[in-house]
Amino acid sequence: MKIRTGFVSNSSSSSFIIGYGSVTNRQKFESYCNKYEIEFSLIDKTGKLYSHDGVELIDADWLDPDDRIITAGNETEIIIPKDFSDFDNGLILRVEITNDEGDGEFYSQYDDYRYHGPDYEKAKHKEFYSEKQQKIIELFDQDFIKNSKYIIGAERNG
């Protein structure tokens, strides 16, 4: 019989991709997203949010502090700085993706009947993610995105 010791809960684990950047060339950005079938939304200079096909989704106040916080789960977040704005083009890339793999994806091996907890190290590598999500990660390094910051990883989500 194996006995699990250590932290036990009903929550599970999720991998995530969070980040932001300034889109310097809308045409290149949209071309990249269309090529890899990445859905996106845009925030304009007035703070209005639009779907990728131009439909207004919400009249949001971009200066709202809550819109500047991008969270991954319980512990990881990125805050878009208040002075971050390249509104010459009126576009800010904001990515917030969480997957729900559950704990099984991250279990460590049992050793001498002791459970060592979830191992999130593999989620820090781009190859862990789906092909489409890898293209989203690569988006941050494109020449039409500047001042970007992103984090990939995994953690408890409850």
Dump pLDDT digits (tens) for 25-83: 889 998 999 999 988 776 666 666 777 677 776 554 444 555 677 888 778 888 877 76
Is the residue at 8 inside a domain? no
**Which residues form the domain of 114?**
13-156
Q: What is the largest CA-CA distance in the chain?
A: 64
Is the residue at 3 inside a domain? no
Is the residue at 122 inside a domain? yes
Domains in the chain, number: 1
pLDDT band of residue 90 (cuts 50, 70, 90) is low
Q: Name the nearest CA neighbour of 37 among 156, 139, 105.
A: 139
The pLDDT value given to residue 126? 94
Handedness of CA 44, 47, 48, 50 (dihedral sign): positive
Is the residue at 54 inside a domain? yes
